[in-house]
Amino acid sequence: MKRALYPGSFDPITLGHIDVIQRGTQVLDEIIVAVAHNDAKQGLFSTDERLEMIRQALGSKKGVTVVKLDGLLADYARHQGIKIILRGLRAVSDFEFEFQMALANRRLFPQLETIYLTPKEEYSFISSRIVKEIARLGGDVSQFVPPVVSARLKAKFTAA
């Protein structure tokens, strides 16, 4: 049984993340999307809002579950008996950080392997940060995120 954790901030989830999850389901038996909860790093959306948007966007996709991640990823993986971390690689700019993380996680839990999937080219420039910036300035983000996220972003910035 190949079970993998797909950790991230997902603030908010984008079509790039969803593409990675979709591709992951072709090669893995189960993907656990782990939404990092960090009190010190406040995002635009609360952890619960992010979880809710991911669950709505994914619907009941077979083999995919969504959890809140408190604390260290390597500890969570060890406790759950999960030995694969899934991450997305968009461009060379992602590489350095991903490389550091993979090696640090493996030091913390030696059986942990990190695997990478690349998204469809048209999603390769999308990041949560860019989506938030476009939405904040009143732009239409519907081609970058699922409808639930587009609506939430609009509501957030209209209310602000």
Confirm or reject binding of residue 14 to ligand ADP (CB under 6 A): yes
| In the complex, minimum distance from the CB of residue 23 to ligand ADP, in angstroms, rounded to a whole number | 9
Tokens of 153: 């972003």
Half-sphere exposure of 93 (CA within 13 A, CB side): 4
**φ, ψ for residue 100, nearest 5 deg:** -60, -45
Angle between helices 92-108 and 73-80 (to 10 degrees): 60
Active site residue 150: no
What would the x/- binding string for ligand ADP be over residues 120 to 149, using CB under 6 A?
---xx-xxx---------------------
Q: Which residue has the tokens 């790093």?
A: 41
What size, in residues, is the chain? 160
Active site residue 128: yes
Q: Which stretch binds ligand ADP (CB under 6 A): 10-18, 54-62, 132-140, 145-153?
A: 10-18
Applying CB under 6 A, the residues found at the interface with ligand ADP are 8-10, 14, 16-17, 20, 87-88, 90, 94, 119, 123-124, 126-128
Active-site positions read 17, 41, 90, 128
